[in-house]
Amino acid sequence: MDSESRTRSWPVSSARTPLGRRSRPTVAGVAGGVGTTTVAAALGAADRGVFVGRAVDVLVCRATGDSLVRAGHAAQLVARVGGRRPVLAVTAADSSGPSRPVTARLRLLEPHTTAVVVLPFVRRWRDLAAPLDEARALLAVPHTDLPRPLRRYAGAAQDLLAALSGHLTSTTRPTAGRPTSRPTLRRTR
């Protein structure tokens, strides 16, 4: 991608500024510790913390049963309150990616969301003193200049932006440890 397509544009938000322009996207997590701040930093979005019922553009959850149940309830509430379905960002719990039962639950959530994007686990962020600085720079750095462990996360962040702008209705990014010939999730319309 060229450098112009990497610049952040804030294509979607239910909130408008007093001048009628759209504000930057909003991100909330279904619980603490699901990766909301990291996703907000990567997208340059507003971090709303834990979801409390207000309309948001991106919901973040972990790839666990309980977190996905919360995400389903929150996505339905966002659709009712805001009139539009949120994008669901699912943070992988480990480097192996979502299990088959989790993938099945993700497919059940698809009708309640604009898109479901699985974010890969980034082990190196555990060892950094300030991983959010690295997350903030993901979309500003050319993909080939990123360290290998960050390229997949940067690609997923691009998928989130595409979903927010309406250009992505399905995710076909393979998860680690799975065959690359099969898509992780496919959205049909």
Is the predicted pLDDT of residue 14 greater than 90, yes or no? no
What is the model's pLDDT at position 152?
93
User: In the CATH scheme, what is the code of domain 16-165?
Assistant: 3.40.50
For the chain, what percent of residues have pLDDT higher than 90?
62
- Among 39-43, 93-97, 122-126, the least confident range: 93-97
Cα dihedral angle (92, 97, 100, 101), rounded to 10 degrees? -20
pLDDT in tens, 21-60: 357 899 999 999 999 999 999 999 999 999 999 999 999 9
Residues 6+ apart with CB under 8 A from 7: none
Cα dihedral angle (122, 126, 130, 131), rounded to 10 degrees? 10
pLDDT in tens, 142-184: 989 998 889 999 999 999 999 998 865 555 343 343 333 334 4
